[in-house]
Structure 1
Amino acid sequence: MADQTQQGTQQGAQQTGDAARTADNRDGQQAGNTSRTFTQQDLDRIIEDRLTRERQKYADYDTIKTELTKIKQSQMSDLEKLTQAASEHERRAIAAESRIAQTEIKADFVERAIAAGVTDIRLAYLAAQAEGLLGAYDPDKGVGKHNFDELKKRYPHLFRATTGGSADGGAGGGGKIGGDMNVWIRRAAGRA
């Protein structure tokens, strides 16, 4: 029974296929038989072949590019090579001078910031840099004046508060302790 069903299915598919082919033949005859129908497998094969040919065209591109660079360098005269090397060294020198200038400005700022009473030097430097309050660098004259007055106006919390006291910083008389350091330490410890 299963054999009869299978044979019937095959005959039905064959008849359907024959009918489709007959309809295609009629359409092909009417259109002049110029069109061809491709299956998905045919299209995939055609596309893959075309892609493979294109990849083969450009497979040696990097190798050719490297060889071209070598040829150009070998054709350069000694003068051109020296000119190219000189321009590279000049570029490096300019970059080094820029780094030196930045370092000089920062070192000078730190030195003067301590004297001006700055509490957070890193933050003060960043603020001065952002506000354009840093001194300019001149290789002959050094670093110009940093504008600490304006920095103090804009960011007063970065500076120590001024304290009242004697103008002599405690160096004057009145509180002198007689004797040497050992005597002073003993008195402070309560042993003298």
Structure 2
Amino acid sequence: MTEQNTGAGAPETAQSTFTQADVDRIVADRLGRERGKYADYDQLKAKAGEFDKLAEAQKTEAEKSAERLTAAERKAADAELSSLRLDVALDKAPEGMPVAQVRKLARRLTGTTKDELEADAAELFGDFKPAAATSTRRPIEALKPGALPAGQHGSGDPNQWMRDRASRA
């Protein structure tokens, strides 16, 4: 906006107006400039992919061996930690807990050292109570010959038992 002095003491403001066609043209020009900046993006992306493939192909055998060694060491460390978790869980689990349940809970133990795992196991298994001792023996029945319970005394003679029953009737 520009100010013009008309001499009457008050400045006048000149306003410029745009038609919709003017706005569309300005926006189109601006978008064209922005798209021009990134016109070669797909070509650069393809070249970067080719470069990565070439770099992978040029790796020396020693670099590839080092990568395989690192992966194997990481896998061995994971297996060792998993074994340690299971050992600690089996040691800290309450007596009588099923092994399948101990295995499930062993996966939840956190820590990297045996002390950390033992502390976590103590907290985890602290809420579990040992299973009540169940006897696998069959109970001894206190029956006497003639199928009389232990509290009743009889002669053991079935004929006498029949006579006693008949006399009650």
More strand by share: 2
- Report the TM-score when normalising by structure 1: 0.42
- Report the TM-score when normalising by structure 2: 0.47
More helix by share: 1
